[in-house]
Each structure stands twice: as C-alpha cells, then as structure tokens.
Amino acid sequence: MSAVKQRVAAISIAASASMAAIKFVVGVAIGSLALISEALHSSVDLIATVVTWIVVRVSDKPADAEHHYGHGKLESLSALGVIALLYILAGGIVVEAYSRLREGVAPPTLTALPFVVLVVDIVVNFWRARALHKTAMETKSQALEADALHFASDVLGSFAVIIGLGLAAFGYAWGDAGAAIAVAVLISILGLRLGKSTIETLLDRAPDGASEKAEEAIRGIPGVVDLERLRVRMVGARHFVDATVQVPRTYPIDRIDSIKRKAQDAVTTALHDADLTFTAVPVARSNESVRERIMVIARNSGLAIHHVTVHDLGGKLTVSIDLEVDGDMPLDEAHDIAHRLEHAIRDEFGADVEVDTHIEPLEPELPHGTDAGADRVEAIQKALSQYAAESGAIHDVHNVRVRDTEAGEIVNFHCRAVPSMSVINVHEKVDEIERALRRAFPSVKRVISHAEPVR
C-alpha cells in the first residue's frame, strides 16, 4: 500500500506543478483575477501534494519504541496544515476580488487560450481527483483524501472561472472578480468538509460503522459470553480495537487464547486492517454444574483434584474429592490444604455441605518406565481375556501394553462392547475386569482401559 500511495502522490506533484504554472502565466497575461486565483489554488495543491508525498513515506512506518500506535496521525496533521493554507488563500482571494469590485478594474483581455487551458485543466484534475480518491479509500489515507478534494475543487473552480470569463466577454465587468470569489467560497466549503473528518480522527472518534462491525465479529466467536466494553479508534489506515470480553471461567487458558486469536482474525476480516487488544474476563455461567464450580475453586487455589463425586440428599449436597499433593509432604500440611479447599467449597455452596477429601500422593510428571517382556504381556492379556469372557459384556481384548515403573506395573488395553450398551454399564463391567486383574497380579498399580463399540 505504501508504494501505491507514494506513486500516486508523485504523479500528482508533476501534474500540479505544470498546470499551476500554465494557469498563472495565462492569468497574468490576460489580467484575470479568477484565473490567477485558480493558479494560486493549484500552487497550494502543489505544496499539499509535496507534503502528502513526504507524509505517506513516514506514516506507513511500523510502530516503534516511541510511537506505539505507528505514525498514521501524521497524515491527519498534514491535512490540517493544508486546510490552513487553503483558508489563507481563500481569504486573500476574497479581499482582492472585493477591492477590484469596489475600485473598478478593467476586464481581462479574452482570447481562446484561457478557455483551452481551463478545459485541459478540468480533464487533468478530474482524472487526478478520481485516482487519488480511489487510492485514499483503499489505503484509508487522509492525506491522499485531502489531495483528492483539492483537485476536485480545482475542477469546480475551473468551471467557475470559465463562467466568469464568459460573463466578462458579454460585457459584465464584475464576472471575473465574481468568479474569483466563487473559487474562494468553493475552497472554504471543501476545506470545512475535510477539516471535520480530520479533526474527528485526531479526537479518536470511532469511524462510522466500525464499532458495530467489530462487535458483531467478536460476538460471533464461539465461547464469547458477552461484550463488556468496546472502543475503536483509527490511526492512519489501521483500526485499533480495545475489547473487554466475558468468557466462561471454566475454560482453560489455552482455550481462551484460541478465542483471542479467532477474535483477532474476525475483526481483521471485518475492518480489513485492525489491531485488537483483547481483555478476557472470566464469568460464571448460569448453566455451570456443581462439579464444574468445584473444579474452578480447586484450579483457582492451584490444586490438583479428580474423581469429584456429588450427590443431592434431599436438599443437602455431599461432595467427595481426591486431592493430589506432594507425596513427601507431612500429613499436617496436606490436611491444612484439604481443610482450606473444603472451607472454600462450603463458602460457595453453603455451610451445610458435606465435604470429604481423600488425600493421595501426586503422580510424578515423568515417571521412569520400561516395556515389560513378551511373556509378561501375554500372561496379562490371557487374564484380561478370561475376565472379559466371564463378564459376558466385554469382548475382544486387544492392544495390551504393560510397562514397569518404580511404583509398579501399568497396564493399558483396548476392548469392545455392544454399541447400545450404556456408558455406566460398560464402566462397571470394565472396572470388574480391572479389579480382578489387580487381585491376580498384585504388582499392577494401575489399569487404563479404552472401550470401543463393536463394529
């Protein structure tokens, strides 16, 4: 985008310089204030275009240690400077035109030359205005938009000068000065329009429709509960979006991070160029289960729990939890941790909640283990197949693996059951097989099964 803006600005410089010089020379030659005013207007456009060419080279630089939001505001500042020049020019034209009307200056000497120059100027400026406006919209460049407005005003100004010279040709001596005033009024109106949008950008006014698009994009991300606050501002061509988003407190950090990345992609797609600051606020949802709420309490305390069992005894909750702590920790310290966890659960659900905590040693993260010998694996597989046959519900024990660890043997196996069988029934039958295996092989510390439907 930077190369496109610079190329368009460079072409405008050459066009502005040539047309301003031609109009000024012809205007002085025939004594037309309107044509001279239009030439001076084009000269201001030339200055503006040079400034634009310089600014777009700087404004597209990325953010650095001192400019965290980039350098895009330079385009807005340059646009304000050009607007000031336009108003100074408009004021000078009005003063000179009024002086000529009051003192009565001789009408300009008319030939076909000024009309030819003005027609060529209209064609050139119309082409430039369209090219600049298109590029300004594509790159969201206020500097190029200001340039486009200048050349659009040149087109209208040239028409006003033609009308003024035509009136002078038909004997209306005030026609030339009147056309000059029309050019000044036109400059002022266009400057007001540009100034309004530029000042709004400098005051960080949210671009029209940007907030709605960003909000729709964020709310459409699965996992977003609500949007607390959304702020959008524009720096150069980039939208900076600041969103405070509610997410379920039961979600793990990696899932919340996934929501953030999806939100960034969605906002960028909606606004084309966006930098999203995403602040996640964990909230409790109305459909949270008791088990989920207990898991949140443990996680917020940095505790590892599992086998959370909850029963409702006619309005009274009973909760059983397996709490894992360092195996070398003294019992009194472990008991204090369990007591604090139970107290936190009662704070959440009421003082009459019955809580029992089973304390057990935390499994090491990377226990050392080796594969058992083929004879051992075969013996355990035969035993598993026998117990499965006795259960009458579990079939095809396969993929049996046995590992020796410092704490004992760990057995993994797969098996199959009827597809219509409930998960509870499958779990009970598999548990029976696991208990029978541990009784037959006391060195087995843990059995991990995976049940599959019969195909």
* Residue-wise pLDDT tens digits, 283-325: 888 788 889 889 989 988 889 998 899 888 877 889 999 999 9
Structure tokens at 288: 């949270």
Please provide residue 442's backbone torsions phi and psi, each rounded to the nearest 5 degrees: -60, -25
CATH number of 369-453: 3.30.70.1350
Q: How confident is the model at residue 365 (pLDDT cuts 50, 70, 90)?
A: low
For 405-447, the pLDDT digits (tens) are 887 899 999 999 999 999 999 999 999 999 999 999 999 988 9
Distance (Å, rounded) from C-alpha 12 to C-alpha 23? 16
Place of tokens 């949007």: 227
Closest CA to 150 of 132, 168, 177, 135: 132
CATH number of 3-203: 1.20.1510.10
CA atoms within 13 A on the CB side of 188: 12
Q: How confident is the model at residue 62 (pLDDT cuts 50, 70, 90)?
A: low
Distance (Å, rounded) from C-alpha 308 to C-alpha 290? 10
Distance (Å, rounded) from C-alpha 222 to C-alpha 126? 48
Average pLDDT, the chain: 82
For 210-257, the pLDDT digits (tens) are 889 999 999 999 999 999 999 988 776 678 899 999 999 888 889 999
pLDDT at residue 176 is higher than 70: yes
Distance (Å, rounded) from C-alpha 46 to C-alpha 3? 20
Superfamily of domain 300-361: Cation efflux protein, cytoplasmic domain (3.30.70.1350)
pLDDT for residue 113: 82
Q: Which helix (DSSP H) or strand (DSSP E) does residue 172 occupy?
A: none
CA atoms within 13 A on the CB side of 53: 15
Strand order in the sheet with 444-453: 369-371, 395-405, 408-417, 444-453
As a whole number, mean pLDDT of residues 270-276 equals 86
Q: Which fold has domain 210-283?
A: Alpha-Beta Plaits (3.30.70)
**What residues does each domain of the chain span?**
3-203, 210-283, 300-361, 369-453
Q: What angle do CA 275, 276, 278 make, to 5 degrees?
A: 160
Closest CA to 34 of 115, 128, 147: 115
Give the number of other Cβ atoms within 10 Å of residue 443's Cβ.
Answer: 9
pTM score > 0.75 for this model? no
- 210-283 and 369-453 in the same fold: yes
Structure tokens at 126: 């119309």
